Structure 1
């Protein structure tokens, strides 16, 4: 699998000949001004919740790519230019490429105008080439312990580490224990003043716990 980070909580996973884009927020991200959004392609766009920093480029990229949007009904209904979609809530669905499961996240979900955005969630993708979990914006929660027991053995996970609105580094380490996953990609940090962290300290804390924390620059691609 190939992983490209676009900043904040926006990233692309390429696997099995398909491209999965998550939480499209590039235009308003001060750390992603060098990203050429016109070159981004996707087969599926998955949205964890309605906040602007996760949906700002949804309409634009859905039109540009022709991707199928997977999100709550409320998010899809608000994205007026989306033509192809699959509405979900907490549950699982089998697609041609594998299984997508939406799981709870401890977070709010509303659009900038105050419109309700449905439940905030995360996604577990079970693909031929591997399994991964994106928690979405969330605080630590014990539901995460269900993932390795009932849902999937994970190859990697994408977790927020910036604190204030979500888990901080210490709680993300606990979360990695809950989900039984030692390879973590950190997101939702340093975009804004509220969520600034010491990145080297974060990497060191994970390493001291026997885990690997990967922190990418916006635009960086790695193989997983």
Structure 2
């Protein structure tokens, strides 16, 4: 599986010839300017962890341009229909669905969720994505929670994508504890440095993961790597 990072919590996973875009927030991310443009990002699927604007800001425009299927909780899916996006698949915590190219299982995320117009954004979620190429876990924005101990009962992970920025989500130490719970050695960090509230010490973050025998990957915006 190949991952391209677009900044904040936005990334694409290419697998089985399909591009899965997660939580697109590019246009309003100052760190992404000059490195990536939302207008050039391709997607076959768009998966949204929750409704906060720093996770869905570019989702409507990219969905309309690409025709990508939007996968999200019920409330977000209904809101997207009202924005003129018809190719949506609603899900909710605990459910799974085989899309043919991969299976999505929705798991617990401890966070909040509100749509840009102030309406209720439904349950925040994490996702386990699995197919013949392997499995990965994207936690979405979340606190550390004992529910993460369930993840390895559902999938043997090739890698995981976890927030490390603190303040709104787990910090690196808690994310490292999550890595241990989910039995995953390869971790890609997200949701850090974008705003003043979530600046991180990269060296300290790396050391937190080293202590649990895991490797933290902090990709540059626009960087692609294989997991």
Q: What's the TM-score once normalised by structure 1's chain length?
A: 0.97
Deviating beyond 3 angstroms after TM superposition, the runs of 4 or more aligned structure 1 residues are none
Q: How much has 1:51 moved relative to structure 2?
A: 0.1
Provide the residue aligned with 1:26 in structure 2. 26
Provide the residue aligned with 1:44 in structure 2. 45
Residues matched between the structures, number = 223
The answer to whether the Cα contact below 8 Å between 2:113 and 2:120 also exists between their aligned partners in 1 is: yes
Provide the residue aligned with 2:169 in structure 1. 166
Q: What's the TM-score once normalised by structure 2's chain length?
A: 0.96
Provide the residue aligned with 1:140 in structure 2. 144
Consecutive unaligned residues in structure 2, runs of 5 or more = none
The answer to whether the Cα contact below 8 Å between 1:123 and 1:135 also exists between their aligned partners in 2 is: yes
The answer to whether the Cα contact below 8 Å between 2:27 and 2:37 also exists between their aligned partners in 1 is: no
The answer to whether the Cα contact below 8 Å between 1:62 and 1:81 also exists between their aligned partners in 2 is: no
CA distance in 1, matches of 2:60, 2:50: 14
C-alpha distance after superposition, 1:54-108 (max 9, x if no partner): 0100110001111000001211222213121110001111121131101110000
Consecutive unaligned residues in structure 1, runs of 5 or more = none
1:128 has 2:132 as partner: yes
CA distance in 1, matches of 2:140, 2:211: 25
CA distance in 1, matches of 2:59, 2:208: 34
Q: How much has 1:200 moved relative to structure 2?
A: 1.9
1:192 has 2:195 as partner: yes
The answer to whether the Cα contact below 8 Å between 2:19 and 2:44 also exists between their aligned partners in 1 is: yes
